[in-house]
Structures are given as C-alpha cells and as structure tokens.
Amino acid sequence: MLKGKNVVLGVTGSIAAYKIANLASMLVKLHADVHVIMTRNATQFITPVTFETLTKNRCLTDTFDRADVSEVKHIALAERADVLLIAPASANFIGKMAHGIADDMLSTTVLAARCPVLLAPAMNVNMFRHPAVQDNLKLLAQRGVTVIQPDSGYLACGAVGEGKLPAEQTLLDYILHTAAKKKDLAGKKILVTAGPTQESLDPVRFITNHSTGKMGYAVARQAMLRGADVTLVSGPVHLAPPPFVTVVPVQSAQDMFEAVAARYAAQDWFVMTAAVADYTPVQTHSEKIKKNADGADLTLQLKRTEDILKWLGARKKEGQRVCGFSMETENMLENSKAKLAKKNADLIAANSLRDAGSGFGTDTNHLVLLQRDAVTDLPLLSKEDAADRLLDTLLSL
C-alpha cells in the first residue's frame, strides 16, 4: 500500500522508542522506503542497528556524518519524504521544533521538510500537561503539524495518565491516512451502511442475518484513505472501527433508517452495503409469546421496514449519488437491473451468493457493477480492491 512512498521516522529520547522498531517493520511490509533519524538521546534507548536491519537503510544520527559526501543528507531526505513522523517526541524536541531550533540531524530535517509532518508526544503526564509543552503543541498545530494525542495509562515513570505513545497500529493508521493513496475523494462526504440489523422479538431474542460488515467496512476504509469524509452507519459486527471514520452504531432497520435520514442532506454519496431486514416483528409479539407459553405453534406477525435505498433514491438531490448492493441466489443480472430502476440508484453492485469467494464473511468478492447504460464484471478481488473499483466507478459517473 505504500509502494514508492518515502517515510521518514524521527525518533527522540524516550523509553517508547522501542515501539518504533515494530512500526518500521510494519511500514517495510507495506513496501514503504523507510528512513530513520535518531537524536543522540534516542540512541540510549534503542540502537541504530535495529532500524538499519529492519529498513535496509542507513539510520542517521549526526548532521556531520562523513560516510556519504554526494549529497547533503538532511536536505535530501527532507525533500524526498512523503511523510515525516516524529515518534516518540520528547518535550525537549517539541520545544525545539516550535521555536525553529535546528541543532542536529532530526531538527534540521524537520525544518527543511515540505511534506506533511506528524508528531506523537510521549512523556510523563505532568510534563505533557505543562503549559510550556501545551503551548508549543498548539503553535505547531497552528502551523499545520498533525499532533497525535497520547494515550492515557500506566507510564514507564510509574505515573498513570496521559503521555503514553499510542500503539504502533495507530501510528501506522496516521501514516496511511496521510500518504497511502491519492486523495481523489477529498472534500466528498460519503455515508456507508454496513453489517446486519437485529430485529427484536422480545428483550432477549432477535432475528438477524449472516452479514459480517466486511464489505461496508472496506468501502469506508478505502474512501477514508482516499481523503473522503466518511460516516459509517453500522449494525452489530465484530470488526474494529476504521480510524478517521465517524461510526454510528445502530441495531434495528428502523435505527439504521433514522441514522441515515438524519444525515442525508449533508452527504454527497451513499453506499448501502448493509443487509437490512425487510421485515420486523410487530410490537405486540412478546405478548403473543407469553400467551403461547403452553407450547402451541406461533405465527409471527411481521411488518415491512423502510427501504432506505429507495427512500434515498426518491429524494436524491443534485450531485448526490446512490449505490446499492444486491445479493442474489438466481437471476442476478435481471434482478439487479430491476433494483437499479426501482430504487432510482446510480449504481448497483451485484454479487451472487452462489459464487465461490463472494458473499457473507469472505475476504474477497466478485462484484458486477451495473449503471443505467453499462455493466462491468469485476474479477474476484479482495474486498478492499473491490471497494476501490466501486469508488472509481462512482467517481466516473
């Protein structure tokens, strides 16, 4: 995902420096070209050899490095970087950055950098809360530096509070959000529905379906990586919420409808991947269950839920785009074409439950994208790649 991207990691003197070895390894696995610059104090906590072994690049620690005279190292690195992350950032380094002090390899590189700069402070809670540090962070944020808030918890100094370097995955998410993809969806507001809905029979039991939410979460994540402002209205699933996405948890079809309807006016695109229940038990049902306690057969009385896709199609405003999903067991193309017209959608992503590698719970999908005047049969792809192709098609409409 980071092929051809140049990631510069600045490591300063903090015990949390050891975590950056893992981050560097994660970045290398995503094919980034990773360069690590350490302050002199950082080398007290972790050795440059660790980073050199992981990144296959020379780890820089000193401005007056005489090993390579062909270029001015800090300037060359600063110019090549697609993103620069300083983590852990000590109070001292934050102070230097805020006031333009450039007295070592890392601080000179930061001053010369034109790329987005991310900063992850890590220190004792009282140091972090000190007005000097807070003012410096505010100043840096005003200048466009992204400050990654530290986690709260047990700190290496024994204190409990804010100041912990966030997990490596969180730091990686920030890097991906900044540099992973072309930001061709910047400025677009996209609402995605995902997962199943749960329709309660009584306070204990419910009716649901096999949806795991994977497709919708993949759409939300790819759209976020491409710069969109994403809202994910999600039924109950066992997936981690994608970072930088506003997640609205819902349970029933009615909840999902209300969550979408409340946000509809502000959105540009809607991608409805949720397997919404078409029917829900009528309210009096738990009464009925009690009355049938003698074991007699019971007929469930169901009422139709609001068809969210159709509701959106009927209210589409100028510039809004609506994409539905269609999961079929037979006559996939005919039924999906009918859905496109009936629901006034711009795009229907159809998949057949009979297709190997497609449907509920899989990590892959074979989608057929239907527009009014075109049908695109995609190959079997990961749900992330399928999501990207779907977003490409919406962008081309």
Nearer to ligand CTP, 41 or 254 (CB): 254
CB of 264 to ligand CTP, least distance (A): 12
Q: How far is CA 215 from CA 109, 166, 218, 365, 382, in A?
A: 41, 27, 5, 8, 10
59 is catalytic: no
DSSP H or E stretch at residue 220: helix 214-225
Q: Does 253 bind ligand CTP (CB under 6 A)?
A: yes
Q: Does 39 bind ligand CTP (CB under 6 A)?
A: no
Q: What is d(CA 357, CA 181) in angstroms, rounded to the nearest whole number?
A: 26
Q: How far is CA 199 from CA 209, 234, 236, 293, in A?
A: 10, 14, 11, 21
Q: Does 255 bind ligand CTP (CB under 6 A)?
A: no
- The DSSP bridge partners found for residue 328 are 352
Number of residues lying near ligand CTP (CB under 6 A): 15
Are residues 216 and 234 in contact, defined by beta-carbon separation less than 8 angstroms?
Answer: yes
Q: In this structure, how many other beta carbons lie within 10 angstroms of the beta carbon of residue 183?
A: 14
Nearer to ligand CTP, 14 or 305 (CB): 305
Binding mask 186-225 for ligand CTP (x = CB under 6 A): -------x--------------------------------
Q: What is d(CA 54, CA 34) in angstroms, rounded to the nearest whole number?
A: 9
Q: Does 309 bind ligand CTP (CB under 6 A)?
A: yes
Q: Does 230 bind ligand CTP (CB under 6 A)?
A: no
Residue selected from 113, 225, 274, 386 as contacting ligand CTP according to rule CB under 6 A: 274
Residue at shortest CB range from ligand CTP: 308
Q: What is d(CA 28, CA 47) in angstroms, rounded to the nearest whole number?
A: 18
Residue selected from 46, 81, 145, 272 as contacting ligand CTP according to rule CB under 6 A: 272
CB of 348 to ligand CTP, least distance (A): 8
What's the longest Cα–Cα distance across the chain?
A: 90
Binding mask 333-362 for ligand CTP (x = CB under 6 A): ------x-----------------------
Q: Which residue has the tokens 């209210």?
A: 315
Instruction: Mark out the alpha helices in 18-72 (DSSP H runs).
Output: 19-29, 48-55
Residue 10: name the closest of 122, 110, 123 by CA.
110
Q: Does 155 bind ligand CTP (CB under 6 A)?
A: no
Q: Does 324 bind ligand CTP (CB under 6 A)?
A: yes
Residue selected from 222, 326, 351, 358 as contacting ligand CTP according to rule CB under 6 A: 326
Cα–Cα–Cα angle for 68, 74, 77, rounded to 5 degrees: 90
Q: Does 278 bind ligand CTP (CB under 6 A)?
A: yes
**Judged by CB under 6 A, which stretch of 36-44, 141-149, 283-291, 306-314 contacts ligand CTP?**
306-314
Known catalytic residues are: 157
Interface residue list for ligand CTP (CB under 6 A) = 193, 253, 272, 274, 276, 278, 305, 307-309, 324-327, 339
